[in-house]
Amino acid sequence: MIITVTANTTIDLTLFVPNLVNNRTIRATQSIQSMGGKPTDASWILGELGIPSLALGFAGGSTGKKVEIMLEQRGVTPDFVWLEQGETRINVVIIPENTDGSITITTNTMTIETSHVEQLRGKLTRALANASCVITGGSLPEGLAENFYVDFIALAKTHNKPVIFDAAGANLRAGLTARPDHIKPNRDELAELIGHPVESIDDAYIAGCELIAQYGTAPIITLGEGGALAVLPERAYFIPPLRIKVVSPNGAGDAVLAGIASAYERNQPIEDGLKLGFAAAAAVCLQPGTADCRKADVEQFIPQIELMPYP
């Protein structure tokens, strides 16, 4: 069973607007509520692909209940630690139709107590006996510091379970010290981590090799329109991007997490997981909602994903 651990569960509200103008009422042309939070997104995508997962994390209020219901309807098994106060957050993604890019407005509406962390630790400990791997990452709510990821990654590693970790900034730097098996930084996150710009694929390759040498962690580096680079202990692959019309890229990186996890779940080579993950990422880009995809699109894209040995 794939386990996902999400400290900051989320619903994403995506709004498509003609443009952004100050001091005007702007009428959205389309609005979609979808899943949010990197590991929970991975569970959401895995559910669409018919791959079961157990979604752990913190949740609260009516928004948390909606997350739970949505996951159950997708075939995911949620098992959250419920907060007595506070609410699972709602993030707003604004996509102006007159320009490229998007604006994401995040919120923080949960406060986590020590007792909540201990409950989650207990849930994960009990689940690890039947786990194929663990996906964790994302932002942290109030009450949690970066050592949350150090502790929870170390817990999974103590049970000899592979960990796929996706975070940014201080959370990423801290979690790396627990030596997760994979991370999935984008270009900007990698640049912040290593302290200098990543301007080429070769820059990404050198940084990836350094991460393996220092932490034993194999990075899957996404480079936006430049494709991606998977740096593994004994080989590396450049993954060219598919030429598709992008509706919204939000959650595409989380599809890569789901693909890697599927390889562990099915005892397949990591290459199979990369192909599935990047096919799912392309499928996510076709949909307006965060991390939404259609299984038929994923299956159509899998044969189109190229893994080109690098360098």
CB atoms under 10 Å from CB of 250, counted, come to 25
Query: 2-309: which CATH number, 3.90.1150.10, 3.40.50.970, 3.40.1190.20, 3.40.50.1100?
Result: 3.40.1190.20
DSSP 8-state secondary structure symbol assigned to residue 169: H
pLDDT of residue 21: 87
Could you tell me if 138 and 152 are in contact, meaning their C-beta atoms sit under 8 angstroms apart? no
pLDDT of residue 99: 84
Distance separating alpha carbons of residues 279 and 262, to the nearest angstrom = 13
pLDDT of residue 10: 95
271: left (phi over 0), alpha (psi -120 to 50) or beta: alpha
pLDDT of residue 270: 98
Strand order through the sheet with 10-17: 30-36, 10-17, 89-96, 103-105
Angle formed by the axes of helices 201-215 and 187-194, nearest 10°? 60
Domain boundaries, the chain: 2-309
pLDDT of residue 172: 98
pLDDT of residue 96: 93
Low-confidence ranges of the chain (pLDDT < 50): none
- Is the pTM here over 0.85, yes or no? yes
